[in-house]
């Protein structure tokens, strides 16, 4: 062989390997583009200012097929992160490695961070194998992110794995962002008009702080104008009248691009009020903000929703000896509402539990263009009670008649994005104008592009307390079923969406389609597939051998 040819071949192979190390690229041929990072995440990774190390705990000597697929998907996505930024470094860590005390301490530390183990089976010695479907991100800050979306009640393993893989890019990017100290903003909860107290929103407050947000209370009586550094204002269940000054300074905050989340109870209905008397008639809260919301394109109706898809309550239904006899009843006034959009706020979100919610009507605005998105709605088995109405527990004594629950798909949470017309376009007084002039600001009659969310229930943000210990319960926790609804995730997503203009939260919209094994069908058709894959090839091989032997014997016999 020509020596020049050999040398040229060696040089060519070395050159190709060198170029391959210097220039990395991939071609994504998948229909859902699962191996291509979204532009905002790619930009975020390319502008990291400090290193981020990622420890993933979803690994063990024994893993079922579905968990192996999940682990493989995590590894592939983190490979993409590493190839995009030299500041990313990751490795898998087996939580089952080490002596018993090491495993116990590691498990306790992860549980304290909010990560619960998942049993995936038994190893060869018959020992239970657990994994923690989470990752620890260590950078400027240390944060833990759950990677498995396993909070959907009744969901099978295929659904859980599919949803988790679909959210991987978002969850991993959010972890990197939080660890690098880049996520955050200023969230202010107003007070002084009967809003939820600091204790009643403490679980949401804590979660926001853990995610890097600065959270504070904003007393109305001390406000002249809203500080422009405040990114989101949350008005959580006000019960007292807003003054014209309150409404004006809030209006001008919106005109300057401020984001507002309105969590409004229209009527004074509550379970506690009903417990204290046989018949309770709720009345309108005297808020005085109806005209302002109308100007922005919303009307919260003075009604109460009843939904057959609801949570339950326990009521005393007699006595047995000296003990009260408790029974569980469906409580139609506490609907478990569903997401109704592909918006990132509610993408892959579980149900949200509301209490005495009201319907939100959307109104077209003539002078400005806004895009309204219904985020949450009731089931198709709903009905309405209009004010004034008497409420009591007598409805639980009879079976509900489905023909009356015919007002389905009622909107209870609406997002509006765009430009808004000022509620004081023609009514700003000289005192209001003077208030703005003192700060060298003009009264604006049209807003810059901004966002607003209106929810027809103020209790969506209220956490309960354990009556025995006084400890705070998780926001969305239902004490009858023991299940935690997605109230907190909904509000956290909403605040993130408000502050994330076209950023990483948009990656929640990506769909990942997986052709996972149908375990139920595979078990039912086990014998058929064993015959098809094992017996039939052997029969074919035996038949071929016999035919070959017969032909050979006949030819040479």
Q: Write out pLDDT tens, residues 301-314.
A: 999 999 999 999 88
* Residues 33-47 pLDDT 10s: 556 777 888 888 888
Separation CA 443–CA 455 (nearest Å): 28
The pLDDT value given to residue 42: 85
pLDDT at residue 285, rounded to an integer: 93
pLDDT score at 34 = 59
Residues paired with 284 in a beta bridge: 267
**In this model, does residue 14 exceed pLDDT 70?**
yes
Sorting pLDDT into bands at 50, 70 and 90, what band is 455? very high
User: C-alpha distances in angstroms, 438 versus 155, 257, 435, 542?
Assistant: 58, 20, 6, 98
Specify the range with the lowest mean pLDDT, choosing from 214-218, 254-258, 400-404: 400-404
Range ranked top by mean pLDDT from 80-89, 185-194, 502-511 = 185-194
Quote the CA–CA distance of 236 and 460 in Å, as a whole number: 9
- Mean pLDDT across the stretch 455-478? 91
Cβ atoms 123, 62 nearer than 8 A: yes
- At 95, the pLDDT band (50, 70, 90 cuts) reads confident
Q: Which residue bears the tokens 């498990």?
A: 107
Whole-number percent of the chain with pLDDT over 70 = 89
Residue 153 has pLDDT above 80, yes or no: no
Parallel, antiparallel or unpaired: strands 232-236 and 186-191: parallel
Express each pLDDT in 382-438 by its tens digit: 999 988 888 888 888 778 888 888 888 899 999 999 999 999 988 889 888 888 888
- pLDDT value of position 440: 86
Query: What's the pLDDT score for residue 369?
Result: 83
Q: What percent of the chain has pLDDT over 90?
A: 34
Q: Which two tokens stand for residue 277?
A: 């008397």
- Stretch 335-361: mean pLDDT, rounded? 91
Which of 60 and 280 is assigned the larger pLDDT? Answer: 280
pLDDT at residue 22, rounded to an integer: 58
Average pLDDT, the chain: 84
Mean pLDDT along residues 254-275: 92
Best CA proximity match to 389, nearest among 313, 458, 462, 304: 304
Provide CB contacts within 8 A for 179, sequence distance 6+: 52, 137, 138, 139, 140, 141, 142, 143
Query: SS3 for 194?
Result: coil
> Radius of gyration of the chain from Cα atoms?
30
Interatomic CA distance for residues 9 and 504, integer angstroms: 46
On the question of pLDDT at 235 being above 70, the answer is yes
Residue 549 vs residue 371, higher pLDDT: 371
pLDDT at 217 over 90: yes
Residues composing the chain: 557
CA gap 316, 126 in Å, rounded: 47
- Cα(512)–Cα(514) distance, integer angstroms: 6
Domain spans of the chain?
38-179, 186-485, 525-556
Indicate the range of 104-113, 348-357, 404-413 predicted with least confidence. Answer: 104-113
Angle, helices 65-84 vs 39-46, to 10°: value is 60
DSSP string, 517-540: --HHHHHHTHHHHHIIIIIHHHHH
Residue 198: left if φ>0, alpha if ψ -120 to 50, beta else—which one?
alpha
CATH architecture of 38-179: 3-Layer(aba) Sandwich (3.40)
How confident is the model at residue 512, as a pLDDT?
53
- CA dist 258 and 451 (Å) reads 8
């Amino acid at each position: 062989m020509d020596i020049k040819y050999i040398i040229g071949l060696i040089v060519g192979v070395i050159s190709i390997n060198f170029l391959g190390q210097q220039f990395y690229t991939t071609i994504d041929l998948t229909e859902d583009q699962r191996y291509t990072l979204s532009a905002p995440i790619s930009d975020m990774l390319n502008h990291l200012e400090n290193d981020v190390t990622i420890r993933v705990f979803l690994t063990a000597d024994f893993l079922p097929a579905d968990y192996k697929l999940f682990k493989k998907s995590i590894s592939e996505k983190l490979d993409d992160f590493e190839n995009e930024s030299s500041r990313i470094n990751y490795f898998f860590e087996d939580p089952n490695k080490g002596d018993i005390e090491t495993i116990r301490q590691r498990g306790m530390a992860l549980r304290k961070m909010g990560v619960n183990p998942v049993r995936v089976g038994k190893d060869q010695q018959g020992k239970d194998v657990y994994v923690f479907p989470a990752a620890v991100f260590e950078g400027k800050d240390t944060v833990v992110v759950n990677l498995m979306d396993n909070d959907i009640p009744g969901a099978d393993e295929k659904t859980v794995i599919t949803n988790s893989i679909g959210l991987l890019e978002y969850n991993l990017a959010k972890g990197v962002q939080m660890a690098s100290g880049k996520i955050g903003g200023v969230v202010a909860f107003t007070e002084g008009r009967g809003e939820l107290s600091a204790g009643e929103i403490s679980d949401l407050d804590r979660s926001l702080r853990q995610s890097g947000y600065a959270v504070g209370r904003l007393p109305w009586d001390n406000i002249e104008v809203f500080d422009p550094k405040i990114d989101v204002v949350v008005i959580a269940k006000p019960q007292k009248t807003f003054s014209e000054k309150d409404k004006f300074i809030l209006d001008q905050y919106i005109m300057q691009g401020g984001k507002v989340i309105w969590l409004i109870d229209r009527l004074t209905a509550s379970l506690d009020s009903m417990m204290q008397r046989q018949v309770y008639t709720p009345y309108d809260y005297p808020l005085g903000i109806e005209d302002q919301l109308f100007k922005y394109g919303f009307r919260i109706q003075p009604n109460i929703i009843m939904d057959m898809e609801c949570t339950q309550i326990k009521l005393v239904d007699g006595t047995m000896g000296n003990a009260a006899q408790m029974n569980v009843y469906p409580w139609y006034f506490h609907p478990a509402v569903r997401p109704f959009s592909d918006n990132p706020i509610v993408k892959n979100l579980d149900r949200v539990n509301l209490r005495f919610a009201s319907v939100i009507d959307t109104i077209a605005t003539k002078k400005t263009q806004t895009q309204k998105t219904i985020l949450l709605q009731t089931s198709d088995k709903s009905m309405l009670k209009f004010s004034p109405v008497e409420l009591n527990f007598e409805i639980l004594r009879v079976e509900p008649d489905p023909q009356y629950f015919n007002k389905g798909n009622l909107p209870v949470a609406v997002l509006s994005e765009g430009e808004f017309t000022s509620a004081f376009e023609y009514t700003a007084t000289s005192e209001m104008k003077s208030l703005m002039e003192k700060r060298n600001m003009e009264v604006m009659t049209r807003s810059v592009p901004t966002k607003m969310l209106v929810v027809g229930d103020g209790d969506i943000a209220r956490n309960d307390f354990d009556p025995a210990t006084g400890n705070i319960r998780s926001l969305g926790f239902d004490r009858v079923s023991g299940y935690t609804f997605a109230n907190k995730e909904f509000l956290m997503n909403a605040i993130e969406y408000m502050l994330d203009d076209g950023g990483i939260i948009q990656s929640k919209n990506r769909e990942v389609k997986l052709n996972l094994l149908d375990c139920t069908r595979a078990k039912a058709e086990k014998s058929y597939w064993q015959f098809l894959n094992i017996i039939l090839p052997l029969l074919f091989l035996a038949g071929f051998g016999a035919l070959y032997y017969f032909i050979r014997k006949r030819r040479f016999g």
